[in-house]
Amino acid sequence: MLITFKSAASGDVMMFEESGKALLSLLGKDPEADRGIVTVEQLPGAIAAVQAAVQADKSMLRKPPDADEDADREPDDGVQLAQRALPLLELLERSLQDKVPVTWGV
C-alpha cells in the first residue's frame, strides 16, 4: 500500500506504507491513521523533527571498513532515512513557505 502526502504548495509525495508510517511517527502523527493533516502551525515542529531524525541517522551510519578489517564484511548499501525523508521534508518546507497544510489519505 502507498501513503500519499499532498499539499497545494507542491506535487504529491508517495511512499510505501512502511516508510510512510515511520515518517508519520516522526511527525508526531498516528501511523495507523488512514488520513490526517499537518497544520501550518505544526509544520515548523514537523520539519525540525524530521531534520533531527535525519541527522541522528547520518551520525549512526557505518563507516567503510578499514583495510585491516574483515574483507568479507558487506557494505551497508541500504536506503537511509535521509534519502527516504528528503521528498517529504521538501514538501513540508514548501508548504510552510506557502502557508498551506500537508495532508495524507484524502
Tens-digit pLDDT profile for residues 78-106:
778 888 899 999 999 999 999 999 999 87
Quote the crossing angle between the two packed helices 17-26 and 81-98, to the nearest 10°: 60
Identify the DSSP state of 10. Answer: E
pLDDT (tens digit per residue) in 24-73: 999 999 999 999 999 999 999 999 999 999 998 888 765 655 555 555 55
Is residue 4 a contact partner of residue 87, using CB atoms and an 8 Å limit?
no
DSSP at 73: P
DSSP 27: T
* CA 89 vs CA 39, 44, 76: distances in Å: 15, 11, 24
Helices (H) and strands (E) in the chain, counts: 3, 4
pLDDT digits (tens, 9 = 90+) for 66-79: 555 555 555 555 77
pTM as predicted? 0.81
CA 90 to mean position of chain CA atoms: 10
